[in-house]
Amino acid sequence: MTTHSALSGQRRPAEPPADPAAVRGPLPEARRALAAAARRAAAAIAALPEPEQRSPAERAAAAAEQNAVRILRCAFLDTHVDAVYDELTCARTRHLRLAELAGAAASAFPGLVPSAAQLVAERARRQAAKEGLEIDQGIFVSRVLRSAQAGPHLLDAMLRPTPRAVELLPSFTRTGVADLGSVTVERRDGAARLTLCRDDCLNAEDERQVDDMETAVDLALLDPQVRVGLVRGGTMTHPRYRGRRVFSAGINLKALHDGSISLVDFLLRRELGYLRKVWHGMLVDDPERWFARTVEKPWVAAVDGFAIGGGAQVLLVFDHVIAAADVYLSLPAAQEGIVPGASNLRLTRAAGTRPARQIILGGRRIRACEPDARFLVDEVVEPEEMDAVVERGLQRLQSPSVVANRRMLNLAEESEDAFRLYMAEFAVQQSLRIYSGDVIEKTGRFAARSDTASR
């Protein structure tokens, strides 16, 4: 293989790729070998034009360099992942969230994952113009989650309250109100009412909303005055839906096209953070809670308008889902080119293999009033009856026995190991999909349509 110099235009022989055996030896030598191989690959890629300006041969050369060092990263982590994780977390005495863990790995193990400076440079580019460095984060998170020692510890770290929620908690417990930006929270009659209020984009999810949702879920779980949680879409100002409630349009494809949907802070944090907290509760350090590791509360989802993509995914972790009769639900991830979070795990279990394949692979749209909606929805009511039915649902789930029984139901339905191993594979597959040519083309078309519609 040869690489090209962007300055001289001359071909020069590439250095032979490092032997994977070099990163399987003792950790100090393996660390140095990986760092050296990553530096060589980075230098070869830096000598090429920017990604969008590369010829087919130059793109192939860059891919070959990236693949060679990724083989080494996999071999390194397959051998040393527990030692790496223990070093980063001080023998699992520190609970680092995903972004913190990836940042610590970049500093302690150069070449293992992209550095902070590399990520800042990538973040400034559109998705099509990036090098795809987040794939290396996907490899790292995948290997950590596969480990029976490191994986559960990382899952526990992601169940802890966020610093933002801890800071806001005194004000929320006093006033019962929090405006987080894209989500508002109001405590009333023992219920924390989370309202999705991104009326500019029909509640399409981006990193801001993931952060706001996790903070809101944390506040609901931490406040002792809250007994049940509710998530509902707010009233829209979009011309087609003005004055109407909408649940969620799913992932913000324009943000993905613009390069502002990240693997760690959106795609992984969403699943391991607020959605899993809805499902399994929050991990707290309280010796008086000897009877349970987590604080759990029941959750109701009220769906108006539609729940598309990620909006439909979230319904699978709720205890009770109420939908207006004119609602439709869909998971068009295969058409968009991405993996729909943990839906492949949960929808198959809830609906069976055939309906799950029809919905995920075929893009089948489910209307709330049709029989198969029962796999996603518990109650279907006329739109004008939604408010009253939601209040009744919230009251039912405040029974003292609900928390214990939902805990046992959730444990029976989804084991931690099954979820952990699913997410280990998801980390790699989703990182590859968001940089694939078909996804970039489809999000580009969507962004162009959005820009035209906004003018």
> Tell me, what amino acid is at 227?
R
| pLDDT of amino acid 455 | 39
Q: Whole-angstrom Cα distance, residue 15 to residue 224?
A: 61
> Which residues is 329 bridged to in the sheet?
307, 366
How far is Cα 49 from Cα 133, in angstroms, rounded to an integer? Answer: 16
| Among candidate residues 203, 202, 183, the one with its CA nearest the CA of residue 194 | 183
- Report the pLDDT value the prediction gives residue 450, as an integer from 0 to 100: 67
pLDDT digits (tens, 9 = 90+) for 354-404: 999 999 999 999 999 999 999 999 999 999 999 999 999 999 999 999 999
- Give the residue ranges of DSSP H helices in 7-160: 27-46, 56-88, 98-108, 116-123, 134-146, 150-158
- Whether the full predicted model's pTM is greater than 0.75, yes or no, is yes
Q: Are strands 366-367 and 306-308 parallel, antiparallel or unpaired?
A: unpaired
Q: What is the pLDDT of residue 275?
A: 98
Strand spans (E) along 281-435: 282-283, 294-295, 299-303, 306-308, 320-324, 328-330, 366-367, 379-381
Question: Residues 169, 223: contact at Cβ < 8 Å?
Answer: yes
- Identify whether the C-beta of residue 127 lies closer than 8 Å to the C-beta of residue 440: yes
Q: What percent of the chain clears pLDDT 70, i.e. is strictly above it?
A: 95
* pLDDT recorded at residue 10: 41
- Please report the sign of the dihedral spanned by the C-alpha atoms of residue 417, residue 419, residue 422, residue 427: negative
8 Å CB contact between 141 and 268:
yes
B/e letters for 254-266, b = 16+ CB within 10 Å, e = fewer, are bbbbebbbbbbbb
Identify the pLDDT of residue 451: 60
Element (DSSP H or E) covering residue 196:
strand 191-196
Give the model's pLDDT for residue 299.
98
Q: Which domains does the chain have, with CATH numbers?
A: 2-158 (1.20.58.1300), 163-414 (3.90.226.10)
Q: Which of 10, 37, 3 lies closest to 23, judged by CA?
A: 37
- Residue 245, helix vs strand vs coil: strand
* Inter-axis angle of helices 56-88 and 150-158, nearest 10: 90
Question: How far is it, in rounded angstroms, from Cα 222 to Cα 406?
Answer: 18
Predicted pLDDT at 6: 36
pLDDT, position 408? 96
Residues 52-98: pLDDT tens digits?
999 999 999 999 999 999 999 999 999 999 999 999 999 999 999 99
- What is the distance between the alpha carbons of residues 136 and 176, in angstroms, rounded to a whole number? 42
Q: Which residues of the chain have pLDDT under 50?
A: 1-14, 454-455
